[in-house]
């Protein structure tokens, strides 16, 4: 086509001679319909046609121009198979990239790098962003992820099954999976930190396992384990004991329970249930359900497992922190493994294999420490969902969180298993796990397992619950004992105010509960006595207390003085 339009073959013959028509291609000047002219061609049968395929299109230095006033170039196709079904089909097929300096309007779906964008081939009124699912054999850089917005999921290093929608949402995608961030700057810092260095190791102490040979039915329980090598305050795990069990179970109360020890001698230890050694273990009785059983005597067996101790000067690590160790020379079994720590002091930590600090890291068979070692923070950042602008925007270490609300938990940097809902809430938290909160403002920083619902309900994570409002409980169930009724209180109860016992909507009894008076009345009986008042009748030399029985109130003589 290029040679035809150029007129490179003009005619056969020389000047002043007739044109040899077969094969002649004289080029004619422009006309009213062809701004660039056209070419006449005569074939071997002397059939003459003209070529005007350029129309009002001009080609100059590899650039295509339209000479029509609207400047439009139209490319049409005949037949019905002009829709593109691949990169090699359609009205126009271009090998190479395309640069577009203005808008593009596409009437049908567009397929970009395997992703379909449009209304869908199946019908109308659809909004489709669809790719073809495939199974990967490895954890590739940037896999199965969706990013919509400016600077979302930049980096994409080992990122899998992540959805980020919004400016700076999940801004850095490093080692993240199964995470959803919707909203500007939602989880913006989630992928910025990857196991930062926390401290250095200068020694590892391997505490050998000890065998138990005796245990007492006492409180605290005292066990005998010759040459145990433990120090006061150490946490231990005991397994394999028979005895010190109830009549209904053969499992010893010593097994699979964490204890802290008070060293009595090189061979004996007293067991406690807390680190401060204020809650002694009980080797006398055990409660099963609501029944208290006596414990039988120790029979045999039992092994004490103690956690490995790591010396790390000025480590500044708290109990429960997850760490990653590498670079240890000698005790190489610690390298490239994750541990949970118990803080012994500012220079020493002990290692455990689970987050509840129940299973000690038994290093008794590990190699002897020689030198070196680095403690890294083990960063977990998978399985989070954050919806809302700036939602958990500074969180760098945590998993299994759900945040819903604008500007929510914007200062939280570390935490897992949190469920937090509300706008502009929880911004005082920097580190907390296990929080359940909805529109609340009573949460305390650096404290786990709190529950806070508005200004009504607050649980402090340490066993105390505040309900700041009148409470109506139950469906009218009568109490037939200490374990039945609309309200069952386990433990003591203090009531400030009156208690009414209603029968058919009428008050049957009226109890006023308070701390009885500490002053003993003498002489004549007090006017308007209250329940619990004490009176010494000087005439009869009797000690009396004011009580109520049913609907009657009277002074009960309790002691003859």
Q: For 123-151, what is each residue's pLDDT tens digit?
A: 778 888 888 877 665 556 778 889 999 99
Query: Distance between CA 400 and CA 12 in Å, rounded?
Result: 85
Give me the mean pLDDT over the 330-357 stretch.
Answer: 90
* Res. 68 pLDDT band, cuts 50 70 90: confident
- Tell me what the mean pLDDT of segment 78-93 comes to: 78
Which tens digit of pLDDT belongs to each residue from 482-529?
A: 788 888 887 777 777 666 665 544 444 444 443 444 445 556 676 667
Q: Is 263 exposed, middle or buried (0-12, 13-18, 19+ CB in 10 A)?
A: middle
Nearest CA-CA partner of 294 in 254, 241, 247, 249: 247
Provide the pairing of β-strand 374-377 with 348-352. unpaired
Which phi-psi region, left, alpha or beta, contains residue 149 (left: φ > 0; alpha: ψ -120 to 50)? left
Class of 197-203+308-377 per CATH?
mainly beta
Please tell me the least confidently modeled range out of 12-26, 189-203, 228-242, 426-440.
Answer: 12-26
Query: What is the pLDDT, as a whole number, of residue 122?
Result: 65
Range list for CATH 2.40.30.180 in the chain: 197-203+308-377
Per-residue pLDDT at 522: 58
**DSSP code, position 280:** B
| Dihedral angle over CA of 271, 277, 279, 285, nearest 10 | 10
pLDDT at 37: 58
Asked if 244 and 297 count as a contact pair (C-beta separation under 8 A), the reply is yes
Which residue, 236, 269, 245, 241, is CA-closest to 255? 241
What are the tokens at 404? 């819903």
Please give the structure tokens belonging to residue 356.
């509840």
pLDDT tens digits, residue range 274-291? 888 999 999 999 887 778
- Residue 5 DSSP one-character state: H
Alpha-carbon dihedral angle through residues 543, 545, 546, 547, given to the nearest 10 degrees: -140
CA atoms within 13 A on the CB side of 467: 5
Alpha helix locations (H) across 83-185?
A: none
Tokens coding 79:
């037949």
The closest of 72, 82, 152 to 105, measured between CA atoms, is 72
Within 10 angstroms of residue 408's Cβ, the number of other Cβ atoms is: 27
Query: How many residues belong to the chain?
Result: 561
- Residue 427: what are its φ and ψ, rounded to 5°? -80, -5
* Whole-number Å distance between alpha carbons of 36 and 167: 51
Distances (CA, A) of 142 to 148, 177, 182, 212, 305: 14, 10, 18, 54, 43
**205 SS3 class:** strand
Q: Could you report how far apart the first and last alpha carbons of the chain are, in Å?
A: 133
With cut-offs at 50, 70 and 90, classify the pLDDT of residue 204. very high
* Tokens matching residue 174: 């490093």
Over residues 64-83, mean pLDDT:
77
**Contact call for residues 452 and 442 (beta carbons, < 8 A):** yes
Q: For residue 35, what pLDDT is reported? A: 61
Average pLDDT over residues 177-183: 94
pLDDT range class, residue 356, cuts 50, 70, 90: confident
Identify which has the larger pLDDT, 318 or 274: 274
C-alpha angle 367-373-375 in degrees, rounded to nearest 5: 120
């Amino acid at each position: 086509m290029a040679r035809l339009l150029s007129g490179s073959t003009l005619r056969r013959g020389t000047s002043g001679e007739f044109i040899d028509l077969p094969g002649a291609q004289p080029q004619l000047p422009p006309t009213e319909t062809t701004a660039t002219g056209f070419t006449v061609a005569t074939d071997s049968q002397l059939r003459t046609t003209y070529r005007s395929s350029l129309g009002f299109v001009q080609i100059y230095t590899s650039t295509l121009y339209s000479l029509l006033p609207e400047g439009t170039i139209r490319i049409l196709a005949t037949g019905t198979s002009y829709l593109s079904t691949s990169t090699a089909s359609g009205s126009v097929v271009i090998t190479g990239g395309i640069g577009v300096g203005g808008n593009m309007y596409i009437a049908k779906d567009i397929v970009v790098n395997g992703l379909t964008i449009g209304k869908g081939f199946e019908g109308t009124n659809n909004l489709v962003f669809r790719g073809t699912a495939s199974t990967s054999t490895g954890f590739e850089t940037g896999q199965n992820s969706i990013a919509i917005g400016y600077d979302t999921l930049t980096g994409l290093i080992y990122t899998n099954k992540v959805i980020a929608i919004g400016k700076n949402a999940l801004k850095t995608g490093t080692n993240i999976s199964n995470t959803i961030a919707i909203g500007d700057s939602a989880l913006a810092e989630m992928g910025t930190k990857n196991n930062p260095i926390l401290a250095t190791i200068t020694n590892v102490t391997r505490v050998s396992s000890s065998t138990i040979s005796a245990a007492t039915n006492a409180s605290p329980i005292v066990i005998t384990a010759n040459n145990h090598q433990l120090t006061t305050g150490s946490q231990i795990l005991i397994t394999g004991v028979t005895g010190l069990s109830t009549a209904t179970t053969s499992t010893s109360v010593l097994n699979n329970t964490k204890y802290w020890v008070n060293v009595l001698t090189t061979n004996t230890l007293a067991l406690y249930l807390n680190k401060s050694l204020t809650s002694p273990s009980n080797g006398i009785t055990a409660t099963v359900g609501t029944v208290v059983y006596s414990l039988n005597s120790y029979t045999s067996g039992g092994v004490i497992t103690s956690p490995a101790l790591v010396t790390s000067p000025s480590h500044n690590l708290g109990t429960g922190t997850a760490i990653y160790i590498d670079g240890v020379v000698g005790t190489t079994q610690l390298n490239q493994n994750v541990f949970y720590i118990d803080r012994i002091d500012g220079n020493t930590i002990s290692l455990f294999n689970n987050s509840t600090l129940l299973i000690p890291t038994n290093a008794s068979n590990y190699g002897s420490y020689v030198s070196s070692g680095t403690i890294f923070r083990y960063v977990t950042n998978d399985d989070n969902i954050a919806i809302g602008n700036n939602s958990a925007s500074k969180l760098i270490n945590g998993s299994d969180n759900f945040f819903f609300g604008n500007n929510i938990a914007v200062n939280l940097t570390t935490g897992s298993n949190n469920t937090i809902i509300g706008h502009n809430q929880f911004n005082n938290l920097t580190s907390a796990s296990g929080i359940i909160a909805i529109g609340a403002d009573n949460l305390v920083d650096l404290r786990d397992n709190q529950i806070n619902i508005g200004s009504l309900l607050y649980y402090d994570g340490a066993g105390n619950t505040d309900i700041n409002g009148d409470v109506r409980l139950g469906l009218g169930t009568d109490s037939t004992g200490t374990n039945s009724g609309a309200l069952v209180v386990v433990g003591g109860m203090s009531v400030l105010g009156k208690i009414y016992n209603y029968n058919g909507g009428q008050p049957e009894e009226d109890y006023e509960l308070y701390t009885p008076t500490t002053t003993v009345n003498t002489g004549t009986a007090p006017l308007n006595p209250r329940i619990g008042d004490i009176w010494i009748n000087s005439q009869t030399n009797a000690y009396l207390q004011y009580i109520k029985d049913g609907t009657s109130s009277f002074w009960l003589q309790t002691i003859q003085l």
